[in-house]
Amino acid sequence: MPPNSFQKPETALKRAQELIQVGKESDALDTLHDTIKARRYKQWTQTHEQIMMKHVELCVLLKKPHVAKDALFQYKTLTHQVAVKSLETVIEHFLQMAEQKTEEAQKTSIEKVEEIDDLDQGDVPETLLLSVVSGAAAQDRMDRTVLAPWLRFLWDSYRNCLELLRNNAQVISLS
């Protein structure tokens, strides 16, 4: 039996929560992903929605848009006849988490530039003039290092969700 094979989805969810508590988010994501992809769980249950919520949270935390895309497509096939509202809930939660992390990254970027500016307080007038000229450049550099990866993740998340919802009359209202 494979290491991440569980008799019930509830067991997989419990195991993933235990892994998260000990700081092994990547292993928890693998456990949940294997459960979502398993063909043995063909009937949708409320536990599947809980698994997907935790799964997309971990995907956002670990910046893994492709894993989220794969799981969302699997979940769509599981829910497309019975629980379209559940799919909507999971997608909205995923996009909300991605937007939240992007906003946090933007705030972090601004704070880091302000910290750098605070260190330059004791400088001579020549340095102050130079910092005024290159102040925007410092913000641009910080945005590229802190904010750009999250913007890329958010962009991929939106694109993946639109791709997921395309060509399906039942979920067209979500897009």
Residue 155 located in a structural domain: yes
| pTM (predicted TM-score) | 0.79
Residue 133 located in a structural domain: yes
Query: CB neighbours of 6 closer than 8 A, spacing ≥ 6?
Result: 12, 15, 35
Residue 3 located in a structural domain: no
Percent of the chain with pLDDT over 90: 43
* Cα 117 from Cα 98, distance rounded (Å): 29
Residue 4 located in a structural domain: no
Q: Of 125 and 50, which is predicted with more confidence?
A: 50
81-112 confidence digits (pLDDT tens): 888 889 999 999 999 999 999 999 888 877 87
Burial of 68 (C-beta count, 10 Å sphere; 0-12/13-18/19+): buried
Neighbours of 100 (CB within 10 A): 13
pLDDT at position 136 over 70:
no
Residue pair 67/59 in contact by the 8 Å Cβ criterion = yes
Q: What is the CA angle 89-20-70, rounded to 5?
A: 45
16-64 confidence digits (pLDDT tens): 999 999 999 999 999 999 998 887 767 888 989 999 999 999 999 999 9
Residue 160 located in a structural domain: yes
CA 7 vs. chain centroid, Å, equals 27
Residue 1 located in a structural domain: no
Residue ranges making up the domain that contains 140? 9-174
Question: How many domains does the structure of the chain reveal?
Answer: 1
Helix or strand (DSSP H, E) at 8: none
pLDDT score recorded for residue 38: 82
Residue 161 located in a structural domain: yes
Residue 117 located in a structural domain: yes
